Amino acid sequence: MPQTTGRCPWCGTDPLYVHYHDTVWGRPEYDDQALFEKLCLDGQQAGLSWITILRKQESYRQAYAGFDPEQIVRFDEDDIARLLADPGIIRNRLKVHSIIRNARGFLALRDQGIPFSEFLWQFVNGRPIQNRFESLSEVPTETEISRAISKDLKKRGFKFCGPTIVYAWMEACGLVNDHLTTCHRHAPCAAMADRREIAR
């Protein structure tokens, strides 16, 4: 069978976006802190394009202590003022506060003995959903599962985690494989899920 060489058209030709598509987006992610970082960054995207946030990712990591929730929850008013003056991130007060609130939610789950990864992956029974969409017009912006995750996150104090944001996060972190079937990353991402299942 010939290898698929196409690519999902949403990433265009921007080298940073193409690299993100080819190496990050859709790969199943199970690390607690990586999942936390991506959820926070997807929330920062609200009202903006993802490429805007992607270009600021390293600045966000520097501003928010590498997305270490234990450090973020200790941020005080001086830290908030620093963040609101930082041109490397989105200087929106609600968005700045949202990451601190999300860190509290992350740690509250951990204090209950629930790892963040385990909490999130349970919504798909621990295995990525494998879609087989052929065009972007088929890809949903939210689903019943993203609505359920969003509702639970909000109940736990998380902010900027509506069902559309959560679905974008699910796609990025591989809880759902939404690479088009014409994309060269669809099969490899599906295979990653299969390998993890075999390793269990």
Distance CA 121, CA 132 (A): 20
- Does some domain include residue 14? no
Residue 200: predicted pLDDT: 44
Three-state DSSP state, 137: helix
Q: What is the mean pLDDT of the chain?
A: 95
- Does some domain include residue 185? yes
Q: Are 119 and 108 in contact (CB under 8 A)?
A: no
Q: At 199, is the pLDDT very low, low, confident or very high (cuts 50, 70, 90)?
A: very low
> What count of other Cβ atoms lies within 10 Å of the Cβ of residue 6?
13
Residue 4: predicted pLDDT: 60
Q: Residue 2 pLDDT more than 60?
A: no
Q: What average pLDDT does range 125-135 have in this prediction? A: 97
How far apart are the two ends of the chain, measured CA to CA in Å? Answer: 29
- Does some domain include residue 11? no
CATH code at 113?
1.10.340.30
Residue 126: predicted pLDDT: 96
- Does some domain include residue 96? yes
Structural domain range at position 150 = 19-199
Q: Residue 26 pLDDT more than 80?
A: yes
Q: What average pLDDT does range 191-198 have in this prediction? A: 70
Write down the residue that tokens 């992350």 correspond to: 106
Distance CA 95, CA 49 (A): 15
Domain count, the chain: 1
E strand residue ranges, the chain: 129-130, 176-177
Q: Residue 65 pLDDT more than 80?
A: yes
- Does some domain include residue 2? no
Q: Are 89 and 63 in contact (CB under 8 A)?
A: yes
- Does some domain include residue 10? no
